[in-house]
Amino acid sequence: MSYEKVLQAQRVIIGTKQTVKALREGKVQELIVAGDAEAKVTAKVVDVAKEFNVPILKVDSMKKLGKACGIEVGASTVAIIR
């Protein structure tokens, strides 16, 4: 499951702006997107990930994704860094 990948990752980026920047710099190994996040929030990140051929995984919950990252709030996108 993708939550375990986040827990095991040594470096992650949380949030859309920082993730888009990292994608454009070629630093992202994998993108994880919460299925319950609003499409208008995640659309740009997903488009940039597709443009750079970065694998995209979906998980069901922003809250669980945030918890896997060690934060108290939900996370719409998380990038696992190389």
Q: HEC states along 24-78?
A: HCCCEEEEEEECCCCHHHHHHHHHHHHHCCCCEEEECCHHHHHHHCCCCCCCCEE
pLDDT value, residue 8: 86
pLDDT of residue 29: 96
Q: How many domains does the chain have?
A: 1
Task: Give the domain extent around 54.
Answer: 2-81
What confidence score (pLDDT) does residue 7 get?
82
pLDDT lower than 70: segments of the chain = 1
pTM: 0.91
pLDDT of residue 24: 97
The CATH number of residue 13's host domain is 3.30.1330.30
Residue 1's pLDDT is 56
